[in-house]
Amino acid sequence: MNLKIRLYIEDDNSESFMGIGVLWLLKGIQSKGSIRKAAQEMNMSYTKACQILNKLEKSLNEVILERQKGGNSRVGTYLSEYGEKFLKSYETFNFEVESFCQVEYKKFMSRLD
């Protein structure tokens, strides 16, 4: 048996706006410099990705992404300073929660022996 953790952050209306899928989307944008490319990599529509990202920014009341129109320069999209900080902090938080839960799960299983 294995323990599977699904960690979400909800807004005041109990609607989740941050979880592992959003983390993967942000990391994809960070590496690809494009919402469209990150969404394609996840087999997600561009429209759905934009909805998720807009909900994230609205829930946090912060700018997560700096969006630049393609044009000739093809600047793309990148994480804002706050977005970078949020992503790094969430990755650390997610890792720490999963690590804690694995330790507690092992304790739980040992009590069954």
Q: Which two tokens stand for residue 4?
A: 């599977």
Q: Tell me the per-residue pLDDT of 19-64, one tens digit each, with 9 for 90 and over.
A: 999 999 999 999 999 999 999 999 999 999 999 999 999 999 999 9
9-112 to CATH, choices 1.10.10.10, 3.30.160.270, 3.40.1190.20, 2.60.120.10:
1.10.10.10
Q: Tell me the per-residue pLDDT of 56-98, one tens digit each, with 9 for 90 and over.
A: 999 999 999 998 766 555 668 999 999 999 999 999 999 999 9
What is this structure's pTM?
Answer: 0.86
Q: Tell me the per-residue pLDDT of 4-17, one tens digit each, with 9 for 90 and over.
A: 999 999 999 999 99
Q: How far is it, in rounded angstroms, from Cα 86 to Cα 105?
A: 28
Spell out the domain ranges in the chain.
Answer: 9-112
